[in-house]
Amino acid sequence: MRPIASPQEVQRRQVVIASVIALTALALSSVLYARGVLPINRLLFSRLLWCGVAGWLLGLAGLLRGQVVRAVRTFFTETGDPLDLAVFRIVLFGLIFSMTDTDEVRWFSQMPEALRIFPWGTRWWLLQTVPINETWATAACIGLRIACATAVVGLFSRTSALIATVLAIYVLGIPQLFGKVNHYHHVVWFAAILAASRCGDALSLDAIMAAWRRGGRGDTAPPEASRAYALPIRFVWLLMGVLYFFPGFWKWWAAGIDWVWSDNLRSWMYSLWFEHPGWTPPWRIDQYPLVYRLAALGVILFEMGFFWCLFSRRLRSLAAVGGIVFHQGTGFFMRITFLYLQVCYVTFVNWAALCRWIGNRLFRQPMTILYDGNCTLCRRTIAILRVFDWFGRVTYVNALDQAELRRRGFAWLDPSALLVDMHAVVGQRRWLGFAAYRALAWRVPLLWPLLPLLYLPPVAVIGRRIYRHVADGRSCRIPSPPVAIQPETVGRGWGGGTRAVTAVGIFLLLGNLYYGVRGLSTAWPLACYPTFRILMVPRSSTIAVAVVDVAGRERTLDDSVLRQRASVVRWRNLLGSILLTSDQTERRVRLQALWELWVRHEPALQDVAIVRFYKVVRSTLPEQAGDSPLSKELLWEAKL
């Protein structure tokens, strides 16, 4: 009699059969197309191929719907440690603080209004209703830096994060108004998520104040792992997946196989090298067609696959490593580092688990701290210390709880001594009073800078006297039973829990999905990230400005000062956006504004008689960097 197959075996067979059929169909269609049997162009075949792969994967998801549902549910319901969210808070707002270049923002705020090219989504709201001038820009930069600083140290963390988010939209948006949108939008998205979360429950002044209040009520334990600390990071990952997915999708949908299996990537590299005259990577990958074509394929696979890998713990780690490799590769070969995004990969590190792993190896034996649970000051002190006990190698016990002492094997300690001094115990060794605090300092990383001072004879003597004075003069009060903080209730409520994070996260996801589907990359503060979807040719167009003096002599102006002031990429894109202006009258207005900007930085140009604007086309091939322009066309001549 034939044994009955289990549901898992049946499902496995279905997946194998479906995969074989799908892959065979894809391979057969590719062969038929290659032999000319399918009379369609390469782009249409590429799109059909993409739809076939997407259909196959959707079919697999349907067959494995049970596992898929469990993976998604696990992704959104996992708990996280407050330390992980706090590390990201410090890193992100420290990053925004460093990005806030007051001089740059002020310079852009003073540029002629005629040169402003509003990114999609800003023409009807904030950046057109709020004044853009030096005074407002300077005040906003100062406010943003203050808000970032208070968010880093965790003072009114959520309020600081909210203020920083609002000001960052304005401050970081001003340089985006002049033809080039730098894609650091994600820092604003992530700041908004942190503003809705309990990001200040660790590594913060807020956590210290909360511990002080908690200890007064009789509870010394810090907040436990909770979904409220994991969910914000999950939305950060999903937004990263979205910002990767659509550039990969649009590369394939707009150019298809030709984006990969041609010299397209090489032309893109040449275009980017051209923006940095004289620079080429240490290893010329452009000389190895097979390598850069495989790299182009890897780029598309990574960008479209990153999002889906997030729902598997193993693949999530692989995706994080792949992301770092991807950005390091583009930085090495194309000088596109996306450093502001790479920094956000700290969210993929389980900092709490890493600290515990380090603690287990530094301190093989756990330490137990025995303190007077009836002393309000003692409880508050212990509650604050526990906030910074990241290694988790210390246990805290109320010395008045006789049952707990017997259960832990501390019956050998002198009960009268326990009432007088705090004890630190490791094995059979013990430290009392000031010595106990000093022994504890070894296991609290935040106190490590103070360790050398604690062993200096004068400091040790003063420390013992202060401890003795405080210990002998402390007042004791039996606390009311503390209210236990349950992981599922931490952060509940609109003021900063899972509902607020969910609302903000869904809004950002839907907004960026809309921009991604439409391929709108020149937008702010939501946007599709750069797609590089066109098939690039090794040429670059820009504007050259020439002046004619009273003697009739023409000379081309050097724009190096302006390029450095505005950044090379922004300056070139500003000129490119003027070239793309189809309306001739509007173009002349912008060229006139460009001339005003030039005169502002070179007052001597006020004496010239004629200014001429040329469209110059140059080859981006490194070997032709010093050659004459391929073409030079007069755009407009103005007599001054």
What tens digit of pLDDT does each residue of 257-270 get?
999 989 999 999 99
**pLDDT grade for 566, boundaries at 50, 70 and 90:** confident
The 10 Å Cβ neighbour count of residue 286 is 20
* Domain membership flag for residue 285: no
Q: What mean pLDDT comes out for the span 118-131?
A: 70
Based on the domain organization, do 445 and 546 belong to the same domain?
no
* Domain membership flag for residue 288: no
Paired residues of 619 in beta bridges = 539
Report the distance separating Cα 301 and Cα 519, nearest Å.
18
- What are φ and ψ of residue 442, in 5° steps? -65, -25
* Domain membership flag for residue 380: yes
The number of residues making up the chain comes to: 640
pLDDT at residue 420 in the model: 82
Asked if the bond preceding 525 is cis, omega within 30° of 0, the reply is yes
Number of structural domains in the chain: 3
Q: Read off the DSSP letter of residue 445.
A: G
Q: What mean pLDDT comes out for the span 586-606?
A: 86
Domain's final residue, options 435, 457, 472 = 472
Number of helices and strands (H, E) in the chain?
27, 8
Task: List the one residue out of 245, 257, 600, 215 whose CA is nearest residue 385.
Answer: 215
Contact 29, 53 (CB under 8 A): no
pLDDT tens per residue, range 279-338: 889 999 999 999 999 999 999 999 999 999 999 988 999 999 999 999 999 999 999 989
* Domain membership flag for residue 291: no
Contact 536, 530 (CB under 8 A): no
Radius of gyration in angstroms for the set of CA atoms belonging to the chain, rounded to a whole number = 31
Based on the domain organization, do 462 and 366 belong to the same domain?
yes
* Domain membership flag for residue 379: yes
Task: List the one residue out of 189, 186, 188, 197 whose CA is nearest residue 85.
Answer: 197
The number of CA neighbours under 13 Å toward the Cβ of 222 is 26
Residue range of the domain that includes 604: 539-639
pLDDT exceeds 90 at position 458: no
**pLDDT grade for 483, boundaries at 50, 70 and 90:** very low
pLDDT at residue 550 in the model: 73
pLDDT at residue 638 in the model: 84
Q: Which residue has the higher pLDDT, 91 or 561?
A: 91
* Average pLDDT score over the chain: 86
Task: List, in order, residues 6 or more apart from 314 with CB less than 8 Å away.
Answer: none
The 10 Å Cβ neighbour count of residue 584 is 10
Distance set, CA 175 to CA 33, 572, 597 (Å): 47, 14, 15
Task: List the one residue out of 163, 220, 221, 186 whose CA is nearest residue 88.
Answer: 186
Residue with tokens 């091939």: 621
pLDDT at residue 604 in the model: 78
**Range scoring the smallest mean pLDDT among 381-390, 445-454, 480-489:** 480-489
* Domain membership flag for residue 544: yes
pLDDT tens per residue, range 338-371: 999 999 999 999 999 999 999 999 998 999 988 8
**pLDDT grade for 120, boundaries at 50, 70 and 90:** confident
Domain's final residue, options 434, 450, 472 = 472
Based on the domain organization, do 460 and 556 belong to the same domain?
no
pLDDT at residue 36 in the model: 64
Percent of the chain with pLDDT over 90: 46
**Range scoring the smallest mean pLDDT among 50-54, 160-164, 356-360:** 50-54
Distance set, CA 371 to CA 368, 420, 463 (Å): 10, 9, 18
**pLDDT grade for 484, boundaries at 50, 70 and 90:** very low
* Domain membership flag for residue 329: no
Contact 406, 334 (CB under 8 A): no
Q: What mean pLDDT comes out for the span 185-190?
A: 96
Domain's final residue, options 63, 84, 111 = 63
Element (H, E) at 367: strand 367-371
Based on the domain organization, do 365 and 442 belong to the same domain?
yes
**Range scoring the smallest mean pLDDT among 220-224, 340-344, 354-358, 553-557:** 553-557
* Domain membership flag for residue 364: yes
Compute the Cα dihedral for 493, 499, 504, 505 and give only its sign.
positive
**Range scoring the smallest mean pLDDT among 5-14, 58-67, 216-225:** 5-14
For 221-225, the CB contacts below 8 A with 24+ separation are 221/383, 221/386, 221/485, 222/82, 222/383, 222/386, 222/387, 223/82, 223/198, 223/485, 223/490, 224/485, 224/486, 224/487, 224/490, 225/79, 225/80, 225/81, 225/82, 225/352, 225/487
pLDDT exceeds 80 at position 606: no
pLDDT at residue 38 in the model: 64
Q: Which residue has the higher pLDDT, 513 or 40?
A: 513
Based on the domain organization, do 359 and 463 belong to the same domain?
yes
Paired residues of 618 in beta bridges = 540
